[in-house]
A = this chain, B = another copy of it.
Amino acid sequence: MCAASVLESLGLTKTRIEALSDGVFATLMTVLVLGLDISTRTEPTIFQQISAISGHILVYGLSFLVLGVYWVGHHNMFHYIKRTTRGFLWVNILFLMSVGIIPFSTTVYGPHIGDAQAIVFYGSNMIAASLFLYLIWWYSTRYRELTEKNLDPHLVSSVDRRILTGPVIFLIGIGLAFVFPLSSFILFISAIIYFILPGHIDIHFTRTDHSHKDDES
């Protein structure tokens, strides 16, 4: 159907890369929970032990939703990508690597939710993952033409803005860490809610979807 890319002829189609990515995300979401542990706690009751790691449980929730946001973002992108190259493949693996370190960042941040350095580390991980996600988008839409030809330039810049909002919020969160650490957590959660709520891209698509229906009629 679509023009076969060089890489597809190598046997590495979009489907393959998506399968690996889905597997990595599913495992990451699960592996997060392994950081939660009360077996070495010395508090007398279970409730006190759990309450002692409540910060870590909150960060578990944050990281799970963060992985959800990256997964959604990654797949939305792949919707437009029609062809792949070796370079594209490796940009994806670098993105997965940066996302793959999130369980570690979670075990750094979780038990030290009020520690500025832990926030810097966690926030930096988020910024790195966002920038690699942006790199995938930039690579596909501008460096190499891997998307469909008639891609709306407003969509491209709308996705640009949406992805790059992340690093900005996380940078502010890192800055706040040195003033009032807990506000960073609140900001990170706010960032996630911003990404969960429908954005311009959805509106764009609803419109596209309607116009498609017009075409059909």
Binding site for B on A (CB under 8 A): 4, 6, 9-12, 16, 19-20, 22-34, 36-39, 45-47, 50, 60-61, 64-65, 68, 71-72, 75-80, 86, 89-90, 93, 96-97, 100-101, 103-104, 107-108, 111-112, 115, 117-118, 120-121, 196, 198, 201-202, 205-206, 208-209, 212
Q: Which residues of B contact A206 (CB under 8 A)?
A: 6
Least Cβ–Cβ distance between A5 and chain B, in angstroms: 8
Least Cβ–Cβ distance between A129 and chain B, in angstroms: 13
Whether A76 contacts B10 in the complex (CB less than 8 A), given A46-B115, A90-B196, A97-B64, comes out as yes
Q: Is the CB of B27 within 8 A of A31?
A: yes
> How many copies of this chain are found per oligomer?
4
Main secondary structure of the interface of A (DSSP, over half): helix
